[in-house]
Amino acid sequence: MSTAQNPIQIQGVSLESIAEEFGTPVYVYDGKKIVSQVKILQEAFSEVPLKIKYATKALSNVSVLKLMKKAGAGVDAVSIEEVQLGLLAGFEASEIMYTPSGVSFEEIQDAVNLGVMINLDSIPLMRQFGKEYGSSVPACIRINPHIMAGGNIKISVGHKASKFGISIEQLSEILEVVKEYDLKIEGLHLHTGSDILDAEVFLKGANVLFEAAFNFPDLRFIDCGGGFKVAYKPEDISTDIMEVGKKVSAAFQAFCKEYGRQLELWLEPGKFLVSECGLLLVKVNVVKKTPTITFAGVDSGLNHLIRPMLYDAYHGVYNLSNPSGPLETYHVVGYICETDTIASNRELNEVRAGDILVIKNAGAYGFSMASNYNSRLRPAEVLVWEGKAQLIRKRETFEDIISNQVIIDL
Protein backbone atom coordinates (compact mmCIF):
# COMPACT_ATOMS: atom_id res chain seq x y z
CA MET A 1 0.00 0.00 0.00
CA SER A 2 1.31 3.47 -0.92
CA THR A 3 1.51 5.66 2.14
CA ALA A 4 3.21 8.99 2.65
CA GLN A 5 5.72 7.02 4.75
CA ASN A 6 6.29 4.24 2.24
CA PRO A 7 5.38 5.43 -1.25
CA ILE A 8 5.06 2.99 -4.14
CA GLN A 9 4.94 5.75 -6.71
CA ILE A 10 6.23 9.26 -7.39
CA GLN A 11 3.96 11.62 -9.30
CA GLY A 12 2.00 8.61 -10.54
CA VAL A 13 5.09 6.75 -11.78
CA SER A 14 5.40 3.43 -9.97
CA LEU A 15 8.74 2.71 -8.33
CA GLU A 16 8.48 -0.84 -9.62
CA SER A 17 8.35 0.43 -13.21
CA ILE A 18 11.40 2.63 -12.54
CA ALA A 19 13.35 -0.36 -11.19
CA GLU A 20 12.28 -2.38 -14.22
CA GLU A 21 13.11 0.28 -16.79
CA PHE A 22 16.39 1.56 -15.35
CA GLY A 23 17.54 -1.45 -13.33
CA THR A 24 18.89 -1.49 -9.77
CA PRO A 25 20.52 -0.03 -7.83
CA VAL A 26 19.05 3.29 -8.89
CA TYR A 27 18.70 6.67 -7.21
CA VAL A 28 15.28 8.22 -7.83
CA TYR A 29 14.49 11.88 -7.13
CA ASP A 30 11.09 13.53 -6.90
CA GLY A 31 11.51 16.90 -8.63
CA LYS A 32 8.19 18.16 -7.30
CA LYS A 33 9.35 17.62 -3.73
CA ILE A 34 12.54 19.59 -4.40
CA VAL A 35 10.59 22.54 -5.74
CA SER A 36 8.15 22.41 -2.84
CA GLN A 37 11.03 22.44 -0.31
CA VAL A 38 12.45 25.56 -1.99
CA LYS A 39 8.98 27.14 -1.72
CA ILE A 40 8.66 26.28 1.99
CA LEU A 41 11.97 28.00 2.68
CA GLN A 42 11.01 31.03 0.60
CA GLU A 43 7.76 31.30 2.54
CA ALA A 44 9.43 30.92 5.92
CA PHE A 45 11.73 33.83 5.09
CA SER A 46 9.26 35.91 3.09
CA GLU A 47 9.79 38.91 5.38
CA VAL A 48 13.39 39.38 4.22
CA PRO A 49 15.20 39.59 0.87
CA LEU A 50 16.24 35.92 0.85
CA LYS A 51 18.71 34.27 -1.50
CA ILE A 52 18.90 30.49 -1.33
CA LYS A 53 22.29 29.11 -2.28
CA TYR A 54 21.71 25.37 -2.68
CA ALA A 55 24.61 23.32 -1.24
CA THR A 56 25.60 21.51 -4.42
CA LYS A 57 27.66 18.94 -2.56
CA ALA A 58 24.47 17.29 -1.31
CA LEU A 59 23.38 16.22 -4.80
CA SER A 60 25.35 17.62 -7.67
CA ASN A 61 23.63 16.24 -10.74
CA VAL A 62 23.37 19.04 -13.33
CA SER A 63 19.69 18.30 -14.02
CA VAL A 64 18.96 18.76 -10.32
CA LEU A 65 20.89 22.04 -10.39
CA LYS A 66 18.77 23.11 -13.37
CA LEU A 67 15.67 22.34 -11.35
CA MET A 68 17.02 24.42 -8.47
CA LYS A 69 17.46 27.31 -10.85
CA LYS A 70 13.93 26.90 -12.12
CA ALA A 71 12.69 26.94 -8.51
CA GLY A 72 14.53 30.21 -7.85
CA ALA A 73 17.56 29.04 -5.88
CA GLY A 74 21.22 29.89 -6.48
CA VAL A 75 24.27 27.77 -5.79
CA ASP A 76 26.76 27.20 -2.99
CA ALA A 77 29.88 25.52 -4.39
CA VAL A 78 32.83 24.16 -2.42
CA SER A 79 35.15 23.27 -5.27
CA ILE A 80 36.00 24.74 -8.63
CA GLU A 81 34.34 21.70 -10.15
CA GLU A 82 31.06 22.51 -8.37
CA VAL A 83 31.37 26.08 -9.66
CA GLN A 84 31.72 24.64 -13.16
CA LEU A 85 28.69 22.40 -12.62
CA GLY A 86 26.67 25.44 -11.55
CA LEU A 87 27.70 27.35 -14.66
CA LEU A 88 26.90 24.32 -16.81
CA ALA A 89 23.43 24.23 -15.28
CA GLY A 90 22.88 27.80 -16.48
CA PHE A 91 23.50 29.82 -13.32
CA GLU A 92 25.06 33.25 -13.71
CA ALA A 93 28.42 33.52 -11.95
CA SER A 94 26.80 36.16 -9.71
CA GLU A 95 24.38 33.52 -8.41
CA ILE A 96 27.20 31.27 -7.22
CA MET A 97 28.84 31.45 -3.81
CA TYR A 98 32.20 29.69 -3.67
CA THR A 99 33.11 28.47 -0.17
CA PRO A 100 36.30 26.44 -0.37
CA SER A 101 38.29 25.15 2.56
CA GLY A 102 42.05 25.22 2.31
CA VAL A 103 42.34 25.08 -1.49
CA SER A 104 45.30 26.30 -3.54
CA PHE A 105 45.49 29.97 -4.46
CA GLU A 106 45.45 28.93 -8.13
CA GLU A 107 41.95 27.55 -7.57
CA ILE A 108 40.89 30.82 -5.96
CA GLN A 109 42.24 32.71 -8.99
CA ASP A 110 40.33 30.40 -11.34
CA ALA A 111 37.15 31.09 -9.40
CA VAL A 112 37.77 34.86 -9.47
CA ASN A 113 38.25 34.60 -13.23
CA LEU A 114 34.91 32.82 -13.49
CA GLY A 115 33.33 35.73 -11.62
CA VAL A 116 31.88 34.01 -8.54
CA MET A 117 31.80 35.37 -4.98
CA ILE A 118 34.78 34.05 -3.00
CA ASN A 119 34.31 33.16 0.65
CA LEU A 120 37.68 33.66 2.39
CA ASP A 121 38.23 31.12 5.15
CA SER A 122 41.66 31.88 6.57
CA ILE A 123 43.78 34.90 7.41
CA PRO A 124 46.66 33.79 5.13
CA LEU A 125 44.15 33.52 2.28
CA MET A 126 42.79 37.00 3.08
CA ARG A 127 46.33 38.36 2.82
CA GLN A 128 47.10 36.57 -0.41
CA PHE A 129 43.78 37.69 -1.85
CA GLY A 130 44.45 41.24 -0.70
CA LYS A 131 47.91 41.32 -2.29
CA GLU A 132 46.53 40.05 -5.59
CA TYR A 133 43.23 41.91 -5.86
CA GLY A 134 43.07 44.64 -3.21
CA SER A 135 39.67 46.31 -3.42
CA SER A 136 39.10 45.32 -7.06
CA VAL A 137 37.37 41.99 -6.32
CA PRO A 138 34.72 41.98 -3.59
CA ALA A 139 34.72 38.99 -1.26
CA CYS A 140 33.02 37.37 1.70
CA ILE A 141 34.58 36.20 4.98
CA ARG A 142 33.71 32.90 6.63
CA ILE A 143 33.53 33.34 10.38
CA ASN A 144 33.83 30.47 12.83
CA PRO A 145 31.33 31.50 15.53
CA HIS A 146 32.45 28.88 18.08
CA ILE A 147 29.09 27.20 18.31
CA MET A 148 28.81 23.47 18.89
CA ALA A 149 25.73 22.58 16.88
CA GLY A 150 23.81 19.41 16.04
CA GLY A 151 24.13 15.99 17.62
CA ASN A 152 27.00 14.53 15.60
CA ILE A 153 30.52 15.91 16.08
CA LYS A 154 31.55 14.60 12.64
CA ILE A 155 29.18 17.02 10.95
CA SER A 156 29.46 19.92 13.41
CA VAL A 157 31.80 22.48 11.87
CA GLY A 158 31.34 25.83 13.62
CA HIS A 159 32.92 24.94 16.97
CA LYS A 160 36.20 26.15 18.38
CA ALA A 161 38.23 23.13 17.25
CA SER A 162 36.84 23.11 13.71
CA LYS A 163 39.13 23.78 10.73
CA PHE A 164 36.48 25.92 9.04
CA GLY A 165 36.33 29.69 8.86
CA ILE A 166 38.20 32.33 10.83
CA SER A 167 37.65 32.41 14.57
CA ILE A 168 35.40 35.20 15.75
CA GLU A 169 38.04 35.78 18.42
CA GLN A 170 40.37 36.89 15.61
CA LEU A 171 38.05 39.66 14.49
CA SER A 172 40.57 42.41 15.22
CA GLU A 173 43.17 40.65 13.07
CA ILE A 174 40.59 40.24 10.31
CA LEU A 175 39.89 43.95 10.45
CA GLU A 176 43.61 44.80 10.29
CA VAL A 177 44.00 42.71 7.13
CA VAL A 178 40.89 44.27 5.57
CA LYS A 179 42.35 47.70 6.26
CA GLU A 180 45.88 46.84 5.13
CA TYR A 181 44.73 45.62 1.71
CA ASP A 182 41.63 47.79 1.40
CA LEU A 183 39.52 44.65 0.95
CA LYS A 184 35.93 45.13 -0.15
CA ILE A 185 33.98 42.78 2.08
CA GLU A 186 30.44 42.34 0.78
CA GLY A 187 29.39 39.37 2.88
CA LEU A 188 29.86 37.62 6.21
CA HIS A 189 29.25 33.89 6.34
CA LEU A 190 28.96 31.03 8.78
CA HIS A 191 27.91 27.41 8.66
CA THR A 192 27.77 25.57 11.96
CA GLY A 193 27.02 22.07 10.68
CA SER A 194 24.37 19.62 9.62
CA ASP A 195 21.28 18.17 11.37
CA ILE A 196 20.66 21.23 13.53
CA LEU A 197 17.25 21.09 15.13
CA ASP A 198 17.11 24.10 17.35
CA ALA A 199 16.00 27.49 15.99
CA GLU A 200 18.00 29.14 18.78
CA VAL A 201 21.27 27.79 17.31
CA PHE A 202 20.54 29.52 14.00
CA LEU A 203 19.67 32.69 15.85
CA LYS A 204 22.80 32.51 17.98
CA GLY A 205 24.96 32.14 14.85
CA ALA A 206 23.17 34.96 13.07
CA ASN A 207 23.71 37.24 16.07
CA VAL A 208 27.47 36.59 15.99
CA LEU A 209 27.51 37.80 12.38
CA PHE A 210 25.21 40.77 13.05
CA GLU A 211 27.47 41.97 15.84
CA ALA A 212 30.60 41.62 13.71
CA ALA A 213 28.87 43.22 10.70
CA PHE A 214 29.06 46.76 12.10
CA ASN A 215 32.80 46.67 11.36
CA PHE A 216 32.20 46.12 7.65
CA PRO A 217 30.61 49.10 5.87
CA ASP A 218 30.35 47.52 2.38
CA LEU A 219 28.16 44.54 3.21
CA ARG A 220 25.54 43.34 0.74
CA PHE A 221 24.57 40.10 2.46
CA ILE A 222 24.78 37.95 5.56
CA ASP A 223 25.04 34.21 4.84
CA CYS A 224 23.83 31.97 7.66
CA GLY A 225 24.79 28.68 5.96
CA GLY A 226 22.70 25.50 5.95
CA GLY A 227 22.17 22.63 8.35
CA PHE A 228 18.40 22.34 8.83
CA LYS A 229 17.56 18.93 10.22
CA VAL A 230 15.19 16.66 8.33
CA ALA A 231 13.44 13.57 9.68
CA TYR A 232 15.29 10.33 9.04
CA LYS A 233 13.52 8.13 11.63
CA PRO A 234 9.71 8.00 11.74
CA GLU A 235 9.73 9.60 15.20
CA ASP A 236 12.33 12.25 14.31
CA ILE A 237 11.40 15.87 14.56
CA SER A 238 12.81 18.19 11.96
CA THR A 239 13.85 21.81 12.29
CA ASP A 240 10.76 23.99 12.57
CA ILE A 241 11.60 26.03 9.51
CA MET A 242 8.77 28.48 10.12
CA GLU A 243 10.09 29.18 13.61
CA VAL A 244 13.65 29.67 12.32
CA GLY A 245 12.29 31.89 9.56
CA LYS A 246 10.31 34.00 11.97
CA LYS A 247 13.05 34.39 14.58
CA VAL A 248 16.00 34.90 12.24
CA SER A 249 14.03 37.24 9.94
CA ALA A 250 12.95 39.45 12.85
CA ALA A 251 16.50 39.63 14.20
CA PHE A 252 17.84 40.27 10.69
CA GLN A 253 15.44 43.12 10.02
CA ALA A 254 16.25 44.70 13.38
CA PHE A 255 19.94 44.38 12.56
CA CYS A 256 19.54 45.94 9.09
CA LYS A 257 17.75 48.90 10.62
CA GLU A 258 20.62 49.48 12.98
CA TYR A 259 23.19 48.84 10.26
CA GLY A 260 21.47 51.50 8.18
CA ARG A 261 20.85 49.52 5.03
CA GLN A 262 18.67 46.62 3.88
CA LEU A 263 20.96 43.66 3.22
CA GLU A 264 20.17 40.27 1.70
CA LEU A 265 19.96 37.16 3.84
CA TRP A 266 21.58 34.11 2.25
CA LEU A 267 21.03 30.47 3.27
CA GLU A 268 22.81 27.36 2.01
CA PRO A 269 20.65 24.31 2.66
CA GLY A 270 21.52 20.93 1.23
CA LYS A 271 19.62 18.25 3.16
CA PHE A 272 16.52 20.37 3.63
CA LEU A 273 16.10 20.69 -0.13
CA VAL A 274 17.05 17.23 -1.34
CA SER A 275 17.23 14.60 1.41
CA GLU A 276 13.61 13.52 1.40
CA CYS A 277 13.15 13.75 -2.37
CA GLY A 278 15.50 10.83 -2.92
CA LEU A 279 15.05 7.07 -2.76
CA LEU A 280 17.62 4.40 -3.46
CA LEU A 281 16.06 1.28 -4.99
CA VAL A 282 18.06 -1.87 -4.44
CA LYS A 283 17.44 -5.54 -5.20
CA VAL A 284 17.78 -8.36 -2.69
CA ASN A 285 20.42 -10.86 -3.79
CA VAL A 286 20.21 -13.19 -0.83
CA VAL A 287 18.32 -13.75 2.41
CA LYS A 288 20.69 -15.44 4.82
CA LYS A 289 19.62 -16.75 8.20
CA THR A 290 22.16 -17.35 10.93
CA PRO A 291 21.15 -18.83 14.28
CA THR A 292 20.49 -15.30 15.56
CA ILE A 293 20.19 -12.86 12.65
CA THR A 294 18.51 -12.70 9.28
CA PHE A 295 20.48 -10.74 6.72
CA ALA A 296 18.93 -9.27 3.61
CA GLY A 297 21.88 -8.84 1.25
CA VAL A 298 21.30 -6.26 -1.48
CA ASP A 299 22.98 -5.20 -4.73
CA SER A 300 24.40 -2.02 -3.18
CA GLY A 301 26.37 -1.00 -0.14
CA LEU A 302 28.61 1.60 1.44
CA ASN A 303 29.99 2.35 -2.02
CA HIS A 304 26.60 3.84 -2.94
CA LEU A 305 25.35 5.11 0.41
CA ILE A 306 28.09 5.60 2.94
CA ARG A 307 26.11 7.57 5.54
CA PRO A 308 25.10 4.59 7.74
CA MET A 309 28.69 3.37 8.06
CA LEU A 310 30.31 6.82 8.23
CA TYR A 311 27.96 8.61 10.60
CA ASP A 312 25.84 5.77 12.06
CA ALA A 313 23.07 7.46 10.13
CA TYR A 314 19.60 5.95 10.10
CA HIS A 315 17.85 5.52 6.76
CA GLY A 316 14.31 4.16 6.61
CA VAL A 317 13.91 0.96 4.55
CA TYR A 318 10.81 -0.82 3.26
CA ASN A 319 10.01 -3.75 1.04
CA LEU A 320 8.38 -2.51 -2.15
CA SER A 321 7.75 -5.97 -3.55
CA ASN A 322 5.93 -7.63 -0.65
CA PRO A 323 4.00 -4.88 1.14
CA SER A 324 1.63 -7.19 2.95
CA GLY A 325 4.12 -9.90 3.88
CA PRO A 326 4.48 -10.78 7.59
CA LEU A 327 6.81 -8.52 9.53
CA GLU A 328 10.21 -9.94 10.37
CA THR A 329 13.44 -8.46 11.69
CA TYR A 330 16.39 -8.03 9.32
CA HIS A 331 19.84 -6.57 9.02
CA VAL A 332 19.96 -5.02 5.55
CA VAL A 333 23.53 -5.36 4.35
CA GLY A 334 25.46 -4.49 1.23
CA TYR A 335 27.66 -6.58 -1.05
CA ILE A 336 30.92 -4.78 -0.19
CA CYS A 337 33.68 -6.84 1.37
CA GLU A 338 33.64 -4.97 4.66
CA THR A 339 31.10 -4.68 7.40
CA ASP A 340 28.54 -2.91 5.31
CA THR A 341 25.33 -2.48 7.24
CA ILE A 342 22.73 -0.23 5.68
CA ALA A 343 20.12 -0.81 8.38
CA SER A 344 20.10 -3.05 11.43
CA ASN A 345 17.27 -4.69 13.33
CA ARG A 346 14.53 -3.45 11.03
CA GLU A 347 11.03 -4.81 10.89
CA LEU A 348 10.33 -5.36 7.21
CA ASN A 349 7.59 -7.19 5.38
CA GLU A 350 9.01 -10.63 4.62
CA VAL A 351 12.01 -10.19 2.34
CA ARG A 352 12.65 -12.67 -0.46
CA ALA A 353 15.50 -12.87 -2.97
CA GLY A 354 14.60 -10.65 -5.92
CA ASP A 355 12.51 -8.19 -3.88
CA ILE A 356 13.09 -4.47 -4.32
CA LEU A 357 13.89 -2.61 -1.12
CA VAL A 358 13.56 1.16 -0.90
CA ILE A 359 16.09 3.17 1.12
CA LYS A 360 14.75 6.54 2.12
CA ASN A 361 16.27 10.01 2.58
CA ALA A 362 18.78 9.11 -0.09
CA GLY A 363 18.74 12.42 -1.97
CA ALA A 364 21.30 14.27 0.13
CA TYR A 365 24.87 12.95 0.38
CA GLY A 366 23.87 9.70 -1.30
CA PHE A 367 25.13 9.61 -4.86
CA SER A 368 27.41 12.58 -4.24
CA MET A 369 29.40 10.55 -1.70
CA ALA A 370 29.34 7.33 -3.73
CA SER A 371 32.53 5.63 -4.84
CA ASN A 372 33.82 2.75 -6.93
CA TYR A 373 35.11 0.82 -3.92
CA ASN A 374 35.45 -2.89 -4.64
CA SER A 375 35.57 -1.80 -8.30
CA ARG A 376 31.79 -1.60 -8.28
CA LEU A 377 29.84 0.58 -10.68
CA ARG A 378 28.01 3.62 -9.41
CA PRO A 379 24.23 3.55 -9.88
CA ALA A 380 22.03 5.35 -12.37
CA GLU A 381 20.08 8.45 -11.31
CA VAL A 382 16.50 9.14 -12.35
CA LEU A 383 14.54 12.36 -11.92
CA VAL A 384 10.76 12.26 -11.88
CA TRP A 385 9.52 15.56 -13.20
CA GLU A 386 6.08 16.47 -14.52
CA GLY A 387 4.94 12.87 -14.17
CA LYS A 388 7.80 11.43 -16.19
CA ALA A 389 10.80 9.42 -15.03
CA GLN A 390 13.94 10.51 -16.88
CA LEU A 391 17.44 9.17 -16.71
CA ILE A 392 19.78 11.94 -15.51
CA ARG A 393 22.88 9.80 -15.07
CA LYS A 394 23.69 6.55 -16.79
CA ARG A 395 24.71 3.58 -14.73
CA GLU A 396 28.47 3.20 -14.94
CA THR A 397 30.04 0.48 -17.01
CA PHE A 398 33.27 -1.45 -16.63
CA GLU A 399 34.82 0.96 -19.14
CA ASP A 400 34.27 3.79 -16.63
CA ILE A 401 36.22 1.83 -14.04
CA ILE A 402 39.27 1.47 -16.27
CA SER A 403 39.00 4.58 -18.45
CA ASN A 404 41.69 6.50 -16.52
CA GLN A 405 43.92 3.57 -15.79
CA VAL A 406 47.14 3.45 -17.76
CA ILE A 407 47.91 -0.20 -18.23
CA ILE A 408 51.65 -0.49 -18.69
CA ASP A 409 53.67 -3.30 -20.21
CA LEU A 410 55.46 -5.34 -17.59
Residues 9-38 that bind ligand LLP (CB under 6 A): none
Please tell me whether residue 365 binds ligand LLP under the rule CB under 6 A. yes
The binder of ligand LLP chosen from 31, 187, 226, 245 (CB under 6 A): 226
**Smallest distance, ligand LLP to C-beta of residue 232, A:** 10
The binder of ligand LLP chosen from 61, 144, 162, 194 (CB under 6 A): 194
The binder of ligand LLP chosen from 51, 191, 315, 360 (CB under 6 A): 191
**Smallest distance, ligand LLP to C-beta of residue 243, A:** 17
Total number of residues binding ligand LLP (CB under 6 A)? 20
Please tell me whether residue 225 binds ligand LLP under the rule CB under 6 A. yes
Q: Which stretch binds ligand LLP (CB under 6 A): 122-130, 265-273, 337-345, 397-405?
A: 265-273
Alpha carbons within 13 angstroms on the beta-carbon side of residue 112 total 17
Q: Which is nearer to ligand LLP, 185 or 351 (CB)?
A: 185
**Smallest distance, ligand LLP to C-beta of residue 216, A:** 19
40 and 394 in contact (C-beta within 8 Å)?
no
Q: Which is nearer to ligand LLP, 156 or 321 (CB)?
A: 156
Residues 143-172 that bind ligand LLP (CB under 6 A): 155
The binder of ligand LLP chosen from 37, 56, 99, 239 (CB under 6 A): 99
Q: Active-site residue among 140, 224, 277, 337?
A: 337
Q: Nearest residue to ligand LLP, using CB?
A: 270
Please tell me whether residue 271 binds ligand LLP under the rule CB under 6 A. yes
The binder of ligand LLP chosen from 227, 334, 363, 379 (CB under 6 A): 227
The binder of ligand LLP chosen from 56, 59, 61, 76 (CB under 6 A): 76
Q: Which stretch binds ligand LLP (CB under 6 A): 107-115, 170-178, 263-271, 383-391?
A: 263-271
Contacts of 350 (CB under 8 A, 6+ apart): 319, 322, 325, 326, 327, 328
Is 256 catalytic? The answer is no
**Smallest distance, ligand LLP to C-beta of residue 223, A:** 9
Q: What is the 3-state secondary structure (H, E, C) of the chain?
A: CCCCCCCCEECCEEHHHHHHHHCCCEEEEEHHHHHHHHHHHHHHCCCCCEEEEEEHHHCCCHHHHHHHHHHCCEEEECCHHHHHHHHHCCCCHHHEEECCCCCCHHHHHHHHHHCCEEEECCHHHHHHHHHHHCCCCCEEEEEECCCCCCCCHHHECCCCCCCCCEEHHHHHHHHHHHHHHCCCEEEEECCCECCECCHHHHHHHHHHHHHHHCCCCCCCEEECCCCECCCCCCCCCCCCHHHHHHHHHHHHHHHHHHHCCCCEEEECCCHHHHCCCEEEEEEEEEEEECCCCEEEEECCCCCCCCHHHHHCCCCCEEECCCCCCCEEEEEEECCCCCCCEEEEEEEEECCCCCCEEEECCCCCCCHHHCCCHHHCCCCEEEEEECCEEEEEECCCCHHHHHCCCCCCCC
Please tell me whether residue 121 binds ligand LLP under the rule CB under 6 A. no
Please tell me whether residue 60 binds ligand LLP under the rule CB under 6 A. no
Residues 292-331 that bind ligand LLP (CB under 6 A): 307, 311
The binder of ligand LLP chosen from 30, 121, 268, 276 (CB under 6 A): 268
332 and 342 in contact (C-beta within 8 Å)?
yes
Binding site for ligand LLP (CB under 6 A): 55, 58, 76, 99, 155, 191, 194, 225-228, 268-272, 307, 311, 364-365
Please identify every residue annotated as catalytic.
Answer: 337
